[in-house]
Amino acid sequence: MTATAETTSERRATGTPALEVRGLSKHFGSVQALTEVDFEVYDGEVMALVGDNGAGKSTLVKCIAGIHPADGGQVLSDGEPVDIHGPKDAVRLGIEIVYQDLALCDNLDVVQNMYLGREAHDRIHRLNEAEMEKKTTETMASLSVTTIRSIRQTVATLSGGQRQSVAVARAVHWNSRIVILDEPTAALGVAQTRQVLDLVARLAQQGLAVVLISHNLHDVFEVATRITVLRLGRNVGVYEREKTTQQEVVSAITAGVPTKVAGIAETSA
């Protein structure tokens, strides 16, 4: 990877998003889930991705993550076209995703979930439990996750909020460059929502590109830099948080007119 020490504004100025999607399409059988969708996120910004149920938010994320192969379109990382054929490719590009359904294994403990598929091991694939436990403790502490009693208890014994904390912590744990959060606050109480939103803002401050998928416009307006709106699998607009209102975004979500393939650069004011 050719990640240099450019600042956010320099990146925005030079016009190379950390992650860019161009004209991505995807159908399941006869259902057209995504039609020529464009999307971009720069380092150091929180890009919100909003839309009604079935707008294609989760499908877009799954295409970026390599869970679903896209039918057409291009994904660019730092301006370079990349091929994402599976979850490992996405990870290699520094993309981490917290799924709506969390993708945790109930029968494994917090540490084991944290390192799922990326276990610390020696040359004969023997697990290094102590190192994994130590680093998990550090990450949990850095995120101020104090509600989990023991990181050696199975995820099955955790509450919904605690599970969300584990899932977010796992995404952050891997020093990723692009973190995608799919409805991270949907199952949380007030205090934990606060915590996750603070965390989201902190991630962007640390220079990560953050994509926040949410139904909750209140949350979105609190932390997002820009807002991409999808409707029925098409782009209907990209708004700067400071230059728009919740009403404008709501009307885009419910009745937005597709911007077609005009491209993000033209629609983002």
Partner 1 sequence: MTSSAPSVAADATDEAVPEGIWGRISREFRSGNLGSLPVAAALVVIVIIFSQTAQNFFTAVNFNNLITQLAGTCLLAYGVVFVLLLGEIDLSIGYVSGVAGVIVAELQLPGRGVPGLICIVLAVVGGALIGAFQGSIVALVGVPSFVVTIAGFEIWQGVILKSIPQGVIVIQNNTINNMDGYFFSDAAGWIIAAVVSAIYVLSVGSGAFSQVRHGVAIRNRALLAAKLLVVPAASFLIVYICNKDRGLPFPLLLIVAALLILTFLAKRTTFGRHVYAVGGNAEAARRAGINVARIRILVFTISGAMSALGGVVLAARLNSVDLNAGGGTLLIDAISAAVIGGTSLFGGRGEVRNGLFGALVIATIANGLNTIGYTSGIIFIVTGAILLMAVTLDTVLRRIQARSGR
Contact residues toward partner 1 (CB under 8 A) are 65, 67, 86-88, 91, 97, 99, 102-108, 112, 116-119, 121, 124-131, 133-134, 137-142, 144-146, 149-154, 156-160
Nearer to partner 1, 145 or 212 (CB): 145
- Work out the burial of residue 140: count CB atoms within 10 Å of its CB; fewer than 13 is exposed, 13-18 middle, 19 or more buried: buried
| Helix or strand (DSSP H, E) at 49 | strand 46-50
User: Smallest distance from the beta carbon of 82 to partner 1, in angstroms?
Assistant: 16
Q: Which is nearer to partner 1, 61 or 236 (CB)?
A: 61
C-beta of 247: minimal distance to partner 1 in Å? 36
**CA dist., res. 47 & res. 14, Å (int):** 18
Cβ-based nearer residue to partner 1, 145 or 204: 145
Q: In terms of CB distance, is 15 or 160 closer to partner 1?
A: 160
Residues 37 and 235: beta-carbon distance below 8 Å: yes
Of 154 and 259, nearer to partner 1 (C-beta) is: 154
Those residues whose C-beta lies under 8 Å from the C-beta of residue 9, and which sit 6 or more positions away, are: none
- Which residue number, 57 or 241, has a Cβ lying nearer to partner 1? 57
- Report, in Å, the least distance between residue 110 CB and partner 1: 10
Task: Name the residue nearer to partner 1 (CB basis): 77 or 112.
Answer: 112
Amino acid at 171: A
- What is the smallest separation between the CB atom of 210 and partner 1, expressed in angstroms? 19
Q: Whole-angstrom Cα distance, residue 140 to residue 134?
A: 10
> CA nearest 152: which of 142, 166, 164, 168?
166
Interatomic CA distance for residues 180 and 106, integer angstroms: 22
Q: Work out how close the CB of 63 gets to partner 1 at its nearest, in angstroms, rounded to a whole number.
A: 13
Alpha-carbon separation of residue 147 from 137, 142, 160, 218 (angstroms): 13, 13, 12, 25
Q: Least distance to partner 1 from the beta carbon of 245, Å? A: 35
The burial class, CB within 10 Å (0-12 / 13-18 / 19+), for 13 is: exposed
260 φψ region: left (φ > 0), alpha (ψ -120 to 50), beta (else): left
Beta strand pairing status for 234-240 and 226-231? antiparallel
Kindly state the smallest distance separating residue 127's Cβ from partner 1, in Å.
Answer: 6
